[in-house]
Homo-oligomer: A and B are copies of this chain.
């Protein structure tokens, strides 16, 4: 053991008082959202029909580097933040690697993940605007839980559309949301026009985030005093998640450690965007260099096998178009267990940075991911979420490379959450019944063929 403690906590006074907006340091900004009717950049006014006013302002702000965190949000953060930066001594030992492995652990809250960081901010802005209801979708359930918690805290009614395969695999997740006072509906449902249409066109579908988004947006537009809140993909969410990276950087600076490799799992992209934010800022400003790696499931490989193009964000095509690495809005991945990584696209922010070659991307197979998850659980104690375990897999692979090459690199990865509600997936793995379903080139070509001509 060297002098670094197992867990490094910042004090509550060291909690950042502003989020960092990496777009401010990008010369070429992420492509703007387009109005699906006019195909012109969407205006703030148009977006405000769907999203909260302040969230729209943040969504469109490509220039302000630091955006203050409201006091009420910061007070809520104090209940579970700063989160620990953990040195994975026991994992290092098990691997016999000279690499030093750190992880930023976002799972020590009841949502079980980093999602609460943006949920509480968005719930605050919804309440401040005088709304009574909010709607959203959830895949793995972390975002839905997080928003249920945020809504309960500020006295908002929360309506959650939960991707059907997750709803069925995770019965207890929906009960947590109900305990926080939320309504939970499996998606596609028969309660919305788009849900009925999707059920008709794809009978027996297990759903997708794209469908669930469409249903949640439709409901927000129909309710008298509601808006839709989204847990990933958008610039505003990446902005709120920068708290992860800011704390990570501050803790590493305290320890006098400069990372070589930064690894995050990437579904919509908000966790990776948040974790890498200040490091990417230094890279963009030419102050420092880091390898930054996005890890995605082989079953839903938007960065590694997708197209960089304008696409619909939701299956129902009610949302603005975003330019992103995408598999096509109609791509429905296999019922993989990493529900949070099943989105067909990647945030515009990450997509643009990937296109500028500012970060790498890799895909990993599910069975290898659960092998890594089990090793991590048994050595480091914490049972990780399947999503997070994609990053664990990659961190282990990098550490093994260091071992082979005799390098003492420092690896930092984001442990986004815990797997306590993912035991159906672990059961499959424990029973040796977990397979890897990887889309064929033909599967992908079908999705690309339907990309809008913009």
Q: Which of A1, A7, A418 has the most CB of B within 10 A?
A: A7
A334 sits at the interface (CB 8 A):
no
Q: How far apart are the CA atoms of A11 and B5 in the complex, in Å?
A: 9
Which of A173-181, A244-252, A358-366, A398-406 makes up part of the contact surface? Answer: A173-181
Q: B residues within 8 A CB of A108?
A: 108
Which of A186-194, A341-349, A379-387 makes up part of the contact surface? Answer: A379-387
A31 sits at the interface (CB 8 A):
no
> Nearest-CB distance from A145 to chain B (Å)?
9
Size of interface on A: residues with Cβ below 8 Å to B: 46
Q: Which of A181, A421, A423 has the most CB of B within 10 A?
A: A423
A290 sits at the interface (CB 8 A):
no
Q: Is the CB of B374 within 8 A of A172?
A: no
Q: Is the CB of A172 within 8 A of B377?
A: no
Closest to A179 in B: B426
Q: Is the CB of A377 within 8 A of B420?
A: no
Q: Which of A1, A12, A175, A380 has the most CB of B within 10 A?
A: A175
> Nearest-CB distance from A258 to chain B (Å)?
23
Q: Is the CB of A79 within 8 A of B381?
A: yes
Q: How far apart are the CA atoms of A180 and B375 in the complex, in Å?
A: 9
Q: Mark A416-437, 1 if CB is under 8 A from B, else 0.
A: 0010110110110010000000
Q: Which of B5, B109, B149, B175 sits near A427, CB closer than 8 Å?
A: B175
Q: How far apart are the CA atoms of A418 and B178 in the complex, in Å?
A: 16
A378 sits at the interface (CB 8 A):
yes
Q: Is the CB of A381 within 8 A of B109?
A: yes
A200 sits at the interface (CB 8 A):
no
Q: B residues within 8 A CB of A181?
A: 378
Q: B residues within 8 A CB of A5?
A: 11-12, 78
Q: Mark A82-112, 1 if CB is under 8 A from B, else 0.
A: 0000100110000000000000000011101
> Nearest-CB distance from A423 to chain B (Å)?
4
Q: Mark A1-19, 1 if CB is under 8 A from B, else 0.
A: 1000111010110000000
Q: Is the CB of B381 within 8 A of A179?
A: no
A298 sits at the interface (CB 8 A):
no
Q: Which of B9, B80, B423, B426 sits near A9, CB closer than 8 Å?
A: B9
> Nearest-CB distance from A10 to chain B (Å)?
10
Q: Is the CB of B110 within 8 A of A381?
A: yes
Q: Which of B86, B149, B179 sits near A430, CB closer than 8 Å?
A: B179
Q: How far apart are the CA atoms of A89 and B383 in the complex, in Å?
A: 30
Q: Is the CB of B109 within 8 A of A6?
A: no
Instruction: List residues 160-184 of chain A with CB under 8 A from any CB of chain B.
Output: 171-172, 175-176, 178-181
Instruction: List residues 136-171 of chain A with CB under 8 A from any CB of chain B.
Output: 149, 152-153, 171
A-B contact pairs, 15 of them (CB 8 A): A7-B12, A7-B79, A9-B9, A75-B89, A79-B90, A108-B108, A109-B382, A112-B420, A172-B172, A172-B421, A172-B423, A172-B424, A175-B423, A180-B378, A420-B421
7 nearest A-B pairs in the assembled complex, by CB-CB distance:
A172-B423, A175-B423, A6-B78, A152-B378, A420-B420, A110-B383, A5-B12
